[in-house]
Amino acid sequence: MRCETITGRDLPSVSRIAASLLGDDAVLVRVRVSHVEDGTEVEVVAAAASDVEAFRTRITPAPLPARDTFLVGRPWVIALVGPTGAGKTTTIAKLAASALAFGGWRTGLLTLDTYRVAGLEQLATYAELTGCALEVAYDADDAREALARLDDCDVVLVDTPGRSPRAGARDDEWQDALAALAPDETHLVLPAGLRLDVALAARHAHASLAPTHALLTKLDEVPGDAGVADLADALDLPTRWLADGTEVPTALAAAPSRLLAALGLAPALVIA
């Protein structure tokens, strides 16, 4: 999204400049009024209305389906994929335990991350704490059977290992299992502090898993949300949730409103 920063002595004059640069319907995404020695200084960040609308559309996911519309024999299946350490397992625990995510939906957990005992133990602990059923699948047949055993759930959250360049056949196995589950949503989990080019490389590396959403984690480790909104914009995937800390389940936020607010789209007038 192209943004222009314009400073001047008063709002009408900077608005006129914004309109001349970005069109009559330019949106002021941030406004800052400071008192200076000889009066006031106004600084605005402005964007073209069409760009703002395009950003809003790009990052806003379709709402989760109403429970009675998809209960045709299988739960809604949401898989989390992404590099090792991105926060997939922790986020699954938050999603399972948080009313923010699914309210009263019956939630099941299914893990394809069978290579690391620690990963399995981590999820088993969360399953115990949240009272969710947990299934483990080693290959595509297992995965289908495990999903069938979870058919009394409304939603099944699927944990996966990170893709590893050296894993070879192991990667094929869990990716076949994931394909057998035919997820309704596949969220690409990436830490919010990743450099833009590294994040785009990760998006490229996971293209074969056909991610439908982005899920940014570790917002608590970056200085502000504006860069996170830029990252979400660049990833060009709708974003339903954000993770901003290690606390389960509280460090989970609804994404679109927070990303829009980061760009000042929830109107913010700062008088310094």
Can you give the binding site for ligand GDP, defined by CB under 6 A?
84-90, 162, 217-218, 220-221, 243-246, 251
Residue 221: name its binding partner from ligand GDP, Mg ion, none (Cβ under 5 to 8 Å by kind).
ligand GDP
- H helix or E strand, kind and range, residue 124: helix 117-130
**Smallest distance from ligand GDP to CB 224, Å:** 15
238 interacts with, out of ligand GDP, Mg ion, none, CB within 5 to 8 A per kind = none
Select the binding partner of residue 34 from Mg ion, ligand GDP, none (C-beta < 5 to 8 A, by kind).
none
The tokens 């389906």 sit on which residue? 65
Residue 239: C-alpha distances to residues 78, 92, 194, 216 (Å)? 13, 15, 16, 8
Question: Which backbone phi and psi does 57 adopt, to 5 degrees?
Answer: -65, -40
When the beta carbons of 85 and 103 are compared against ligand GDP, the nearer one is 85
Give me the least distance between CB of 242 and ligand GDP, in Å please: 8
Give 181 or 188: the residue with its C-beta nearer to ligand GDP. Answer: 188
What is the amino acid identity at position 33?
V
Report, in Å, the least distance between residue 158 CB and Mg ion: 11
Distance of alpha carbon 244 from alpha carbon 253, whole angstroms: 7
Nearer to Mg ion, 88 or 206 (CB): 88
Rule CB under 5 A: which residues touch Mg ion?
A: 88-89, 119
Shortest Cβ 215–ligand GDP spacing (Å): 10
Q: Which does 172 bind (CB under 5 to 8 A by kind): ligand GDP, Mg ion, none?
A: none
Which residues, in sequence order, are bridge partners of residue 33?
Answer: 42, 271
Which residue's CB is nearer to ligand GDP, number 14 or number 80? Answer: 80
What is the rounded distance in angstroms from the CA atom of residue 75 to the CA atom of residue 72?
Answer: 8
Compare residues 259 and 265 and give the one whose CB is closer to ligand GDP: 259
The CB-of-245 to ligand GDP minimum distance in angstroms stands at: 5
Which of 49, 35, 92 is CA-nearest to residue 215? 92
CA–CA dist 64, 101 (Å, integer): 10
Length of the chain in terms of residues written:
272
Half-sphere exposure of 190 (CA within 13 A, CB side): 26
Judged by DSSP in three states, 35 sits in strand
| Residue for token pair 């502090």 | 193
Which of Mg ion, ligand GDP, none is residue 251 near (CB under 5 to 8 Å by kind)?
Answer: ligand GDP
Least separation in angstroms between residue 115's CB and ligand GDP is 11
Q: Which is nearer to Mg ion, 15 or 111 (CB)?
A: 111
Joined tokens for residue 48: 């073209």
In the complex, minimum distance from the CB of residue 90 to ligand GDP, in angstroms, rounded to a whole number: 3
Q: Which of 122, 88, 92 is nearest to 109 (CA)?
A: 92
In the list Mg ion, ligand GDP, none, the entry touching 218 (Cβ below 5 to 8 angstroms by class) is ligand GDP
Select 30 or 88, whichever has its Cβ closest to Mg ion: 88
Distance CA 156, CA 186 (A): 12
Q: Which does 46 bind (CB under 5 to 8 A by kind): Mg ion, ligand GDP, none?
A: none
41 — phi, psi (to 5°)?
Answer: -125, 130
